[in-house]
Amino acid sequence: MKYCFGVDIGGTTVKLGLFTEEGTLLDKWEIRTRRENFGEAILPDVADSLRKKREEKDIAISEIIGIGVGVPAPVSAEGIVRNTVNLGWGYKEVNKELKKLTELEVMTGNDANVAALGEMWLGAGKGQKNMIMVTLGTGVGGGIITDGRIMTGTNGAAAEIGHISVNDAEMEKCGCGKRGCLEQYASATGIKRLAAIRLSQDEEPSVLRGVQEPDAKAVFDALKKGDAVAEEIVEQFAAFLGYGLANIAVITDPALIVIGGGVSKAGDIMLPYIKKYFLEKAFFANQDTGFAIACLDNDAGICGAAKLMIDNQKTEM
Amino acid sequence: MKYCFGVDIGGTTVKLGLFTEEGTLLDKWEIRTRRENFGEAILPDVADSLRKKREEKDIAISEIIGIGVGVPAPVSAEGIVRNTVNLGWGYKEVNKELKKLTELEVMTGNDANVAALGEMWLGAGKGQKNMIMVTLGTGVGGGIITDGRIMTGTNGAAAEIGHISVNDAEMEKCGCGKRGCLEQYASATGIKRLAAIRLSQDEEPSVLRGVQEPDAKAVFDALKKGDAVAEEIVEQFAAFLGYGLANIAVITDPALIVIGGGVSKAGDIMLPYIKKYFLEKAFFANQDTGFAIACLDNDAGICGAAKLMIDNQKTEM
| A159 and A284 belong to one structural domain | yes
Q: Could you give the CA distance from residue A86 to residue A74 in angstroms, rounded to a whole number?
A: 12
| B81 and B160 belong to one structural domain | no
Mutate which of A75, A134, A253 to test chain B, going by most B C-beta atoms within 10 A? A253
Query: Does A43 score more than 90 pLDDT?
Result: yes
DSSP conformational letter for B195: H
| A132 and A82 belong to one structural domain | no
Domain boundaries, position B61: 3-118+298-316
Residue B153, φ and ψ in degrees, nearest 5: 80, 175
Residue B123 domain flag: no
The arrangement of strands across the sheet holding A13-20 comes to: A25-32, A13-20, A3-9, A64-71, A106-110
| A209 and A302 belong to one structural domain | no
What pLDDT, on the 0 to 100 scale, is given for residue A293?
98
Q: Which of B157, B253, B283 sits opposite A253 (nearest CB)?
A: B157
| A302 and A290 belong to one structural domain | no
Query: Does B316 score more than 60 pLDDT?
Result: no
Give B52 to chain A, closest Cα distance, Å.
36
Contact residues, chain A, for B281 at CB < 8 Å: 165, 178
CA B84 vs. chain centroid, Å, equals 17
Segment B237-265 shows an average pLDDT of 97
What pLDDT, on the 0 to 100 scale, is given for residue A314?
62
Query: Does A294 score more than 50 pLDDT?
Result: yes
Residue A243 and residue B74: Cβ atoms within 8 Å?
no
Residue B258 domain flag: yes
Reported as a single tens digit per residue, the pLDDT across A197-245 is 999 999 999 999 999 999 999 999 999 999 999 999 999 999 999 999 9
How many cross-chain Cβ pairs, A to B, lie less than 8 Å apart?
Answer: 123
Cβ atoms within 10 Å, residue B285: 20
- Spell out which chain A residues touch chain B, with contact meaning CB-CB distance below 8 angstroms: 74, 77, 129-130, 144, 146-147, 149, 151-161, 163-165, 167-168, 176-178, 243, 246-248, 250-255, 281, 283-286
| A61 and A154 belong to one structural domain | no
Segment A278-306 shows an average pLDDT of 96
Residue A251 and residue B246: Cβ atoms within 8 Å?
no
Which amino acid, residue A290? G
What pLDDT, on the 0 to 100 scale, is given for residue B267?
92
What pLDDT, on the 0 to 100 scale, is given for residue B12?
93
Residue B248 and residue A251: Cβ atoms within 8 Å?
yes
Per DSSP (E only), the strands in B137-181 are: 140-146, 149-150
Mutate which of A154, A178, A184 to test chain B, going by most B C-beta atoms within 10 A? A154
| A170 and A303 belong to one structural domain | no
Number of H helices, E strands in chain B: 10, 12
The answer to whether B119 touches B260, Cβ cutoff 8 Å, is yes
Q: Could you give the CA distance from residue A272 to residue A238 in angstroms, rounded to a whole number?
A: 9
Cβ atoms within 10 Å, residue A246: 23
Q: What is the 3-state secondary structure (H, E, C) of chain A?
A: CCEEEEEEECCCEEEEEEEECCCCEEEEEEEECCCHHHHCCHHHHHHHHHHHHHHHHCCCHHHEEEEEEEECCCCCCCCEECCEHHHCECCEEHHHHHHHHHCCCEEEEEHHHHHHHHHHHHCCCCCCCCEEEEEECCCEEEEEEECCEECCCCCCCCCCHHHCECCCCCCCECCCCCECECHHHHCHHHHHHHHHHHHHHCCCCCHHHHCCCCCHHHHHHHHHCCCHHHHHHHHHHHHHHHHHHHHHHHHHCCCEEEEECHHHHHHHHHHHHHHHHHHHHCCHHHCCCEEEECCCHHHHHHHHHHHHHHHHHHHHC
Residue B264, φ and ψ in degrees, nearest 5: -70, -10
Segment B2-20 shows an average pLDDT of 97
Contact residues, chain B, for A132 at CB < 8 Å: none
Nearest CA in chain B to A73: B285
Residue B250 and residue A154: Cβ atoms within 8 Å?
no
Q: What is the CA radius of gyration of chain B?
A: 20
What pLDDT, on the 0 to 100 scale, is given for residue B315?
57
Query: Does A317 score more than 60 pLDDT?
Result: no
CATH number at residue A8: 3.30.420.40
Q: What is the CA radius of gyration of chain A?
A: 20
What pLDDT, on the 0 to 100 scale, is given for residue A16?
98
How many domains does one find in chain A?
2
Query: Does B62 score more than 70 pLDDT?
Result: yes
Reported as a single tens digit per residue, the pLDDT across B70-119 is 999 999 888 999 877 789 999 999 999 999 999 999 999 999 999 999 99
Reported as a single tens digit per residue, the pLDDT across A154-191 is 999 999 999 999 999 999 999 999 999 999 999 999 99
**ipTM exceeding cut-off 0.95 for this assembly:** no
Give A113 to chain B, closest Cα distance, Å.
12
Residue B304 domain flag: yes
| A150 and A204 belong to one structural domain | yes
The answer to whether A49 touches A34, Cβ cutoff 8 Å, is no
Mutate which of B134, B146, B288 to test chain A, going by most A C-beta atoms within 10 A? B146
Reported as a single tens digit per residue, the pLDDT across B157-195 is 999 999 999 999 999 999 999 999 999 999 999 999 999
Mutate which of A85, A174, A250 to test chain B, going by most B C-beta atoms within 10 A? A250
Contact residues, chain A, for B177 at CB < 8 Å: 284
**Selection from B293, B275, B289 nearest residue B235 by Cα:** B275
- Spell out which chain B residues touch chain A, with contact meaning CB-CB distance below 8 angstroms: 74, 77, 129-130, 144, 146-147, 149, 151-161, 163-165, 167-168, 176-178, 243, 246-248, 250-255, 281, 283-286
What pLDDT, on the 0 to 100 scale, is given for residue B314?
62
| A133 and A281 belong to one structural domain | yes
What pLDDT, on the 0 to 100 scale, is given for residue A246?
98
| B93 and B135 belong to one structural domain | no
The answer to whether B158 touches B144, Cβ cutoff 8 Å, is yes
Segment B242-263 shows an average pLDDT of 97
Reported as a single tens digit per residue, the pLDDT across B297-315 is 999 999 999 999 999 986 5
| B139 and B282 belong to one structural domain | yes
Q: What is the mean pLDDT of chain B?
A: 95
| B136 and B276 belong to one structural domain | yes
Residue B285 domain flag: yes
Query: Does A315 score more than 70 pLDDT?
Result: no
Q: Which of B151, B153, B247 sits opposite A164 (nearest CB)?
A: B247
Percent of chain A with pLDDT over 70: 99
**Selection from A163, A114, A113 nearest residue A143 by Cα:** A113
Contact residues, chain A, for B248 at CB < 8 Å: 251
Q: Could you give the CA distance from residue A305 to residue A16 in angstroms, rounded to a whole number?
A: 10
Angle formed at CA A121 by CA A22 and CA A310, multiple of 5 degrees: 55
Strands A256-260 and A290-293: what pairing? parallel
Q: What is the mean pLDDT of chain A?
A: 95
**Selection from B277, B72, B160, B257 nearest residue A248 by Cα:** B160
DSSP conformational letter for B128: -
User: Which ranges of chain B would DSSP assign to H, the alpha helix?
Assistant: 36-39, 42-57, 94-102, 111-122, 183-186, 188-201, 216-224, 228-252, 271-281, 300-316
Residue A284 and residue B168: Cβ atoms within 8 Å?
no
Give B59 to chain A, closest Cα distance, Å.
33
Reported as a single tens digit per residue, the pLDDT across A11-22 is 999 999 999 999
